Amino acid sequence: MPFESVTLGLKFNIRFEHLTARDVLIVTCPSCNKRWEVPPYKLLERFHAYHRIDPAISGTFKCTRCGFDREPYWHIMRAVGPEYPRIA
């Protein structure tokens, strides 16, 4: 499934409720470059919808490969294709 980068607003102001079912949060460890693709339903199991993504991710992140526990790099990608119209 192809993905494209999406901008939902300023990075420090995006909340979990702004994510849709076709979004994925890409989290990358700055130390060892390990990458995780986290779907929104996994995030909503752990955090409330009104929480902001930036402090929630940076406060709870710990790399499973190298043990790095500081702020990771993250961005949001959205699925595109014929089954996902761009207007939705």
Residue 86: pLDDT band with limits 50, 70, 90: low
Q: Tell me what pLDDT residue 11 has.
A: 84
- On whether residue 26 sits in a domain, the answer given is yes
SS (H, E, C) the chain: CCEEECCCCCHHHCEHHHCCCCEEEEEECCCCCCEEEECHHHHHHHCCCCCEHHHHHHHHCCCCCCCCCCCCEEEEEEECECCECCCC
Task: List, for residues 3-54, the tens digit of each pLDDT value.
Answer: 888 888 888 889 999 999 899 999 999 999 999 999 999 999 989 988 899 9
User: For the residues 79-87, what does the mean pLDDT come to?
Assistant: 72
Range of 55's domain?
3-79
- On whether residue 11 sits in a domain, the answer given is yes
pLDDT at 88 over 70: no
Q: Tell me what pLDDT residue 42 has.
A: 92
pLDDT at 84 over 90: no
- On whether residue 86 sits in a domain, the answer given is no
